[in-house]
Amino acid sequence: GAVVSQHPSRVICKSGTSVKIECRSLDFQATTMFWYRQFPKQSLMLMATSNEGSKATYEQGVEKDKFLINHASLTLSTLTVTSAHPEDSSFYICSAERTGLSSYNEQFFGPGTRLTVL
Amino acid sequence: RKEVEQDPGPFNVPEGATVAFNCTYSNSASQSFFWYRQDCRKEPKLLMSVYSSGNEDGRFTAQLNRASQYISLLIRDSKLSDSATYLCVHNQGGKLIFGQGTELSVKP
């Protein structure tokens, strides 16, 4: 299967700092990657769709100036949480879409990044 | 109404039991459906796709009823290793929409 990595796996930071999370597709190229957020006991919520070489598409209610997404290559997307606050503490998961022969392009998930803002 | 609604959990069952999860979705235009499994503090992993004709993979059987907008997952002969949260997911225009998940705990 396809492998997607995320770095870091865990980060603890002070309120007001910025945190960058990297998502890499290791053995395939991904034109499209997705960023999700999951709060405890809740489901994954799509934050934004990251498109290589163009601007990300954000879901309703997600601040694009706070969650900066860059997808500069076919194997790397980054999510930067700017001026993080305790309410941004969450489990951030990326996925990379691999195009296939079927009508559905499967998404492969990274292992997630647990962010704690003090 | 949530886009994807699942049975509230947790389900606590003994080893060897058969357990069924149900899920309803609100968008009739949804085309692809899946069950994912998520272990505690881990990323979700694809368990199986769900087809209109129903499909089986070992001890797991998934069914889709488009008329009722209803999806099910049946686990037979449950194992301790089946303990996890099961997520009902549908694909809407390339985006995956996740249900809140149903927690399963299989006890010895």
Whole-number pLDDT of residue B94: 82
Q: How confident is the model at residue A95 (pLDDT cuts 50, 70, 90)?
A: very high
Please indicate if any CB of chain A lies within 8 Å of the CB of B8: no
Q: Could you report the per-residue pLDDT of A7-28, keeping only the tens digit for each?
A: 999 999 999 999 999 999 999 9
The pLDDT assigned to A106 comes to 84
Nearest to B101 among A43, A104, A110 (CB): A43
Work out the average pLDDT over A61-88.
95
Partner-chain contact B87 A32, CB within 8 Å: no
Q: Is the pLDDT of residue A100 over 80?
A: no
Q: State how far the Cα of B76 lies from the Cα of B68, in Å rounded to an integer.
A: 24
Query: Is the separation of the CB atoms in A105 and A98 below 8 Å?
Result: yes
Give yes or no for B97 touching A (CB within 8 A): yes
Instruction: Note the maximum CA span of chain B.
Output: 42
Q: At A104, is the pLDDT very low, low, confident or very high (cuts 50, 70, 90)?
A: low
Bridge-based pairing of strands B32-38 and B84-92 is antiparallel
- Residue B32: per-residue pLDDT: 87
* Residues with pLDDT less than 70, chain B: 1
What pLDDT does A102 receive? 60
Nearest to A62 by CA among A78, A49, A72: A49
Q: For chain A, where are the alpha helices, taking DSSP H only?
A: none
CA atoms within 13 A on the CB side of A27: 4
- Computed over every residue of chain A, the mean pLDDT equals 92
Per the structure block, which two tokens stand in for B19? 């357990």
pLDDT for the residue numbered B84? 96
B44/A46 CB distance under 8 A: no
Q: Using CA atoms, how far apart are residues A14 and A19, in angstroms rounded to an integer?
A: 10
Distances (CA, A) of A69 to A47, A94, A106: 10, 11, 21
- Cβ contacts below 8 Å, chain A against chain B, sum to 42
pLDDT value of position A101: 58
**Cα–Cα dist B58/B3, whole Å:** 29
Write down the pLDDT at residue A116: 97
Of A19, A40, A36, the C-alpha closest to A97 is A36
Q: Calculate Rg over the CA atoms of chain B.
A: 13
The predicted structure's pLDDT at residue B27: 81
